[in-house]
Structure 1
Amino acid sequence: MKRKTLAEQVEGGEESLYNHGVSWWRGRLIGKGGFGSVYLANVKKPKSRNRIYPPVMAVKSAEVSVSSSLQKEKEVFNHLYGCPYILECYGEEITTNKDGEMVYNLLLEYASGGTLADLIKKSGGHGLPESDVKKYTRSVLQGIAYIHSLGYVHCDLKPANVLLVSTKSDEFVPKIGDFGLAKKIEKSKKRKLFSYLGGTTSYMAPETVVDHIQEPPSDIWALGCIVYEMFTGKSVWDVKPNMSTEQLLKKIGNRYELPKIPSEISKDGKDFLKGCLAKKPTFRFTAEMLLNHPFVSGLDNTKGSEFGEILEEGWMDPIVTLPDVENEFCASSYSEDWSFISEEGPSSSSVDEKSGVSQFQCP
């Protein structure tokens, strides 16, 4: 008889007495991916002043023997903390299921607003208002700039990995999540003979498809695809229903084929997209350059702005909703989230005098 997975055990109620954390209860299954499964979790003593977790969390879980992706994601989160546009990780914990097997758990913020992909889907193929595109774009850009400044590349940016986190005023702040494929920026210019290629096909940059290069410009290309999708409600590539992955990869890698910039959007919007979707990575804008672009530079993501008042202290009680999960092309995906961020200030960058490297400071 085939052994049941942890997700099947939880769904069947067989894990009711097992596999909970020291201070949290494992709830219903809310998502699945190549990495494992995602569950809703509630703290055991939500009113305790000494609790270290919010009342509700999302828990990514996999048996320890197959949890390398989750453990890698935890290592990345160890470096990417303190930015209000990046999903917060509360820690890790090992639990034991009813068969005595050890399970690795990654404790994360829960997104009561779902994902940017869900929001785009609700537009019915028409896209979002340009004012919304601007504010979401700026927030994601601030997260990307922070990631790059700390020497990482996300490698799987897409609407499904941008999570909408609730604030006190019932607005939602976009946060970048899912760092299972993230990697350190390679300082050596020597290309590896056998480099790992990961991500979601339709958001891959041309240099990723052709030369297996995934560096900061690759994330900027993916951002362009996300912005295009927010504007139009459609993929940046004209993907036919019967198009194979191989055909799509060939289309992306074709040096003469460029995404068509929507004619109905503003001049600043068109120019912004062109800065992201340049075929040659050397011609693409950096995240910090884009933050100064007229399309988003006039926005102020501070208290009282489009996102309303951000939490300054304490934990929020979220609305518990989470849509289905997308898992595509080696991507360890999950639509996660919850919410806690401090009051935001204007973004800034400085230069380390010793290294000469620009250090982006997240608000």
Structure 2
Amino acid sequence: MCTFPHAHFSNRGQLIAVKQVSLDSSDPDAAKKEYSHLQGEVELLKTLRHANIVGFLGTSLFQHVVSIFMEYIPGGSIASILHRFGPLPERVLALYTHQILEGVAYLHLNRVIHRDLKGNNVMLMPTGVIKLIDFGCARRLSCLNHTASSSDLLKSVHGTPYWMAPEVINETGYGRKSDIWSVGCTVFEMATGRPPLAHMDKMVALFYIGAQRGSMPSLPNGFSDHAKDFVNITLTW
């Protein structure tokens, strides 16, 4: 199983975040191989430095539990902010969207696809700085957790369909464009408090997006034409 990041102290007393994944112990060789691949990915992610993405620090393996160490982000996720205070005004929405795009552009420049952009994975520091978390190795994490099958897609941390691009649902591949779709869904979420199609059941939304029939919802009246156009363009099939 995969746990959400929690706080931990380093040997130097530094506060860091730790995400843990339990490996399938039934096949130790396969688990060790997958951990080796994960280590390689994290080593690459450690080289990334940007104001709007979380820093990776390293990994460890102990008794079939993989720990991934990351920069600790004081503050809460955008999803938690929306839950507490409701939708964001457009001027704030624009500030956060700009920073999200800066972070995504940097990842894409370094050939890293986020794969799981949504309000839960966008952190807001008390200073107003946005940090993207849970990027890059999301797929490797799901590979490590061998107990999860494709039928568990909707139950998994990365299986919420409301932010998923059509090509992801149809399993024709992740890419920069699928991240852009998810950015649009996250902007819609910040503007309204909920992602597009949230009124639908998860399975219905999954099939609706995957079938690529019908239009995605637009931002409600009260938002500028610029904001509406931005969301419409990002949510283009």
TM-score range, shorter chain: 0.7 to 0.9
Q: 1:140 to 1:74 in 2, by over 3 A?
A: farther
Match of 2:178 among 201, 218, 226: 218
1:225 CA displacement = 0.2
Q: 1:65 to 1:260 in 2, by over 3 A?
A: closer
1:234 CA displacement = 1.8
Match of 1:88 among 36, 41, 55: 55
1:265 CA displacement = 0.5
Matches within 5 A, 1:207-356: 207-240=167-200, 243=201, 245-261=202-218, 262-279=220-237
1:134 CA displacement = 0.8
Distance 2:35 2:70 in 1: 12
1:259 CA displacement = 1.8
1:106 CA displacement = 1.6
Distance 1:94 1:57 in 2: 17
Q: 1:71 to 1:219 in 2, by over 3 A?
A: farther
Q: 2:129 is paired with a residue of what secondary structure?
A: strand
1:205 CA displacement = 1.0
Which of 1 and 2 has higher RCO (CA within 8 Å, sep 6+)?
A: 1
Q: 1:128 to 1:36 in 2, by over 3 A?
A: closer
Alignment check: 8 A CA contact 2:216 2:235 kept: yes
1:84 CA displacement = 1.5
Q: 1:230 to 1:253 in 2, by over 3 A?
A: same
Q: 1:209 to 1:257 in 2, by over 3 A?
A: same
Alignment check: 8 A CA contact 1:73 1:178 kept: no
**Normalising to structure 1: TM-score of the pair?**
0.52
The size of the alignment, in residue pairs, is 212
Q: Please say if 1:119 is aligned against 2:84.
A: no
Deviations 1:113-137 (A, max 9, x none): 121111111233xx10111111111
Distance 1:84 1:73 in 2: 24
Q: 1:172 is paired with a residue of what secondary structure?
A: coil
Distance 1:224 1:264 in 2: 18
Matches within 5 A, 1:50-61: 55-61=14-20
Which amino acid counterpart does residue 257 of structure 1 have in structure 2? G
Distance 1:60 1:237 in 2: 30
> Any gaps of 5 or more consecutive residues in structure 2?
26-30, 141-152
Which amino acid counterpart does residue 79 of structure 1 have in structure 2? L
Q: 1:71 to 1:121 in 2, by over 3 A?
A: farther
Task: Please identify the structure whose Cα radius of gyration is greater.
Answer: 1
> Any gaps of 5 or more consecutive residues in structure 1?
1-33, 47-54, 96-100, 184-196, 280-363
1:93 CA displacement = 3.1
Q: 1:59 is paired with a residue of what secondary structure?
A: strand
Distance 1:104 1:213 in 2: 26
Q: 1:236 to 1:91 in 2, by over 3 A?
A: same
Q: Over the residues paired in the alignment, what is the CA RMSD in angstroms?
A: 2.8
Distance 1:150 1:62 in 2: 25
Aligned-pair identity in percent equals 29
Q: 1:94 to 1:70 in 2, by over 3 A?
A: closer
1:313 matched residue in structure 2: none
Report which of the two has the higher share of helix: 2
1:150 CA displacement = 1.8
Q: 1:120 is paired with a residue of what secondary structure?
A: helix
